[in-house]
Amino acid sequence: MLKRIIIPFLFVFCLLPIGVQAEGTTDHGMVTDHDISHDSNVSLSGIQTTKSITVKKMKVAAGDQGISVKQLEFVGKLLKNVALPTIKNNINFDGLFTDKINVDLSKVHILLFSNSESYQNALIQAGVPHDSIENIVENSGGITDGTHIWIPLYTYKDRSELTNILTHELTHVVFHQANIEEKLPNWLDEGIAMYNGLQAQKNINHIKTGRILKNIKYKLTTSIKNGESVSFNSTNLLNENYTSEAFYLAATYFLVERMGVSKLNEFTRSVIDSNVEEAFKSTFTITLKEYENKILQAVGQSQQDSYSSNDDDDDDDAEFLPGYRVRW
Ligand SMILES: [Zn+2]
């Protein structure tokens, strides 16, 4: 059942012989992804495919005649060798694939497009609202409805970028199928998908990923310094400015850098059987709201809600959130 399509704001960049310069790539090295899985009027399931392969039960198919079998196989390799292992490591992948949770990779269909015209036509056919299509085609690195993933392959300059978007979208799909996506606040859903994407990209090109992170950090801090406000309430990132996306990534990065990937894994495991507030508090020993407020304070924004700070220790706060001097 389709709910929302995910067009991840992606960090796009690599070396595939896939072709053309990314239209959606920006000077700060970030590309968009968009989530439309809550839009029941949109269906990504109706496109006829001419070629396909199966990788780890997932179907990887050509969205138009311009996609070769070689390209399908290349994407299949990235999924199998980098995207899946990253997700497995970071978010309790094995635990999500139980009878109880019922995440099934055979339901995952990944469709690749070789040019903007066929991508745009497919979006029209899928029922994506007209006023969103131009933005999606020009600014998004991929979309998903929780089962299907569409990738405009022509926008990727190299395989590290492509690995990033594949991992990002697949994270959304896993969360969606495990019914976790609905529980997570948007910033964590997107933040974890972005985090996983960058971790996967790092495996392909460590130096480039480091540069991207530095650049994102610089742009974010500059925007905030120049008076741009940030919040945890942005829900439509495709139509938001780049700062919201970068802020979500920063908030997630702080958390994982500070607590460790094993805690992220534990959190995902915990959220299956409880609500997000309980899972967050039991895993990270701070409430979700407190964490959000600490991040806002760290960037000089006012708190969104008041909360009791009786248990807080100033020294610990300083250590927990050392401003923007966190390593990316
Ligand atoms: Zn996303």
> What pTM, to 2 d.p., does this model score?
0.81
CA 225 to ligand 1 centroid distance, Å: 26
Q: How far, in Å, CA of 15 to CA of 167, rounded? A: 17
CA 200 to ligand 1 centroid distance, Å: 15
Residue-level pLDDT at 325 = 26
CA 141 to ligand 1 centroid distance, Å: 10
Here the tokens at position 272 are 């299956």
Residue-level pLDDT at 40 = 59
CA 167 to ligand 1 centroid distance, Å: 10
CA 311 to ligand 1 centroid distance, Å: 34
Residue-level pLDDT at 146 = 86
Residue-level pLDDT at 269 = 86
Residue numbers in the chain where pLDDT is lower than 70 = 1-42, 93-102, 234-241, 302-328
pLDDT digits (tens, 9 = 90+) for 75-129: 999 999 999 999 988 887 666 666 556 678 899 999 999 999 999 999 999 888 8
CA 292 to ligand 1 centroid distance, Å: 19
Residue-level pLDDT at 110 = 96
CA 244 to ligand 1 centroid distance, Å: 12
Residue-level pLDDT at 163 = 95
> Is 313 buried (19+), middle (13-18) or exposed (0-12) by CB count in 10 A?
exposed
∠ CA 203-194-202, nearest 5°, is: 15
148 beta partners: 109
